[in-house]
């Protein structure tokens, strides 16, 4: 990695000394090699910056989605956006869900950074909204699970799991209606079938419906954002340059997943594999 890239990373994460923490969710150690590597984190950590290179940075999400996690992603995104030459940002998801509004907040920030999002194990409930944010979205068949949203008492937002007393029925209806409208609008902005909200709301909270490969492709849960594809056309592999069909895009995404997924535990190797198969000369 060149001196300019090293300086950019150091300015980004090292406000003072060699170690800086973003709200307990992200710790980056400035190693003697000049590479920023994430420290091993406890199970409650929301996300880690797993590895960095000149070409790609990899975020790993390994816990429930919460407002605190969304705040940490905001802080990370603000700093990442300051880089003059941004690497590709890759997000690896493995989450049982959590707060839907926090997930949409995270997703909005990731989309602004053109994140490529992959499901590495399972992505349930609110996790769908983070997956939807990727300009490149990949998930194995049956790894994405959905069910009806629940509302609990918090600061007026559905899906905040604070375990407090039930909400009055009229307030519950208002909150659920607001959530459904917001979720439909969000998925529409991301280019994902907003009909997923109605499907989700029809599934009892005691069950989880796992989306098949056909569901994932047909509803745009996995796919490539059209605006991103157009902007990157000159760099993309030939299959993606001239109005590919959803099935053709799905086939390429499956190919990348099957070839590169073996490296999920080695983020740098995974990022290298993904970029080589998506971009000419990547």
Tell me which residue of 186, 169, 172 sits closest to 130, measured CA to CA: 186
Q: Each residue of 80-114: pLDDT tens digit? A: 999 888 999 999 999 998 999 999 999 999 999 99
Return all residues near 43 (Cβ < 8 A) that are at least 6 apart. 62, 63
State the Cα–Cα distance between residues 91 and 14, nearest whole angstrom. 22
Helix count and strand count (H, E) for the chain: 10, 11
CB 188 within 8 A of CB 180: no
Asked if residue 73 has pLDDT above 50, the reply is: yes
State the Cα–Cα distance between residues 189 and 178, nearest whole angstrom. 17
pLDDT band at 247 (very low <50, low <70, confident <90, very high): confident
Greater model confidence, 33 or 214: 214
State the Cα–Cα distance between residues 153 and 21, nearest whole angstrom. 30
State the Cα–Cα distance between residues 170 and 52, nearest whole angstrom. 49
Asked if residue 16 has pLDDT above 80, the reply is: no
State the Cα–Cα distance between residues 247 and 245, nearest whole angstrom. 5
Topology, domain 3-278: 2-enoyl-CoA Hydratase; Chain A, domain 1 (3.90.226)
pLDDT band at 205 (very low <50, low <70, confident <90, very high): confident
- pLDDT the model gives residue 281: 65
Model confidence pTM above 0.85: no
Q: What is the mean pLDDT of the chain?
A: 80
Asked if residue 59 has pLDDT above 60, the reply is: yes
- pLDDT the model gives residue 18: 27
């Amino acid at each position: 990695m060149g001196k300019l890239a090293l300086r950019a990373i150091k300015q980004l994460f090292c406000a003072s000394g060699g170690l800086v923490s973003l709200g307990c969710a992200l710790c980056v150690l400035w190693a003697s090699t000049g590479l920023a590597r994430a420290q091993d984190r406890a199970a409650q950590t929301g996300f880690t910056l797993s590895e960095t290179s000149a070409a790609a940075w990899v975020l790993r999400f390994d816990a429930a989605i919460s407002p605190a996690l969304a705040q940490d992603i905001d802080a990370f995104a603000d700093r990442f956006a300051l880089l003059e030459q941004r690497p590709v940002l890759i997000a690896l998801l493995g989450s049982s869900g959590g707060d839907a509004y926090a997930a949409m907040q995270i997703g909005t920030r990731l989309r602004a950074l053109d994140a490529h999002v992959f499901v590495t194990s399972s992505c349930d409930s609110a996790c769908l909204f983070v997956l939807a944010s990727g300009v490149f979205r990949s998930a194995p068949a049956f790894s994405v699970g959905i069910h009806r949203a629940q509302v609990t008492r918090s600061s007026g937002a559905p899906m905040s799991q604070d375990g407090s007393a039930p909400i009055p029925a009229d307030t519950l209806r208002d909150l659920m209606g607001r959530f459904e409208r917001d979720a439909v609008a969000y998925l529409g902005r991301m280019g994902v079938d907003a009909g997923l909200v109605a499907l989700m709301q029809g599934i009892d909270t005691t069950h989880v419906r796992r989306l098949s490969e056909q569901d994932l492709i047909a509803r745009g849960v996995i796919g490539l954002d059209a605006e991103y594809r157009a902007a990157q056309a000159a760099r993309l592999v030939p299959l993606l340059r001239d109005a590919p069909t959803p099935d053709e895009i799905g086939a390429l995404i499956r190919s990348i997943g099957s070839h590169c997924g073996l490296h999920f535990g080695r983020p740098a190797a995974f990022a290298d594999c993904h970029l080589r198969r998506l971009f000419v000369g990547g």
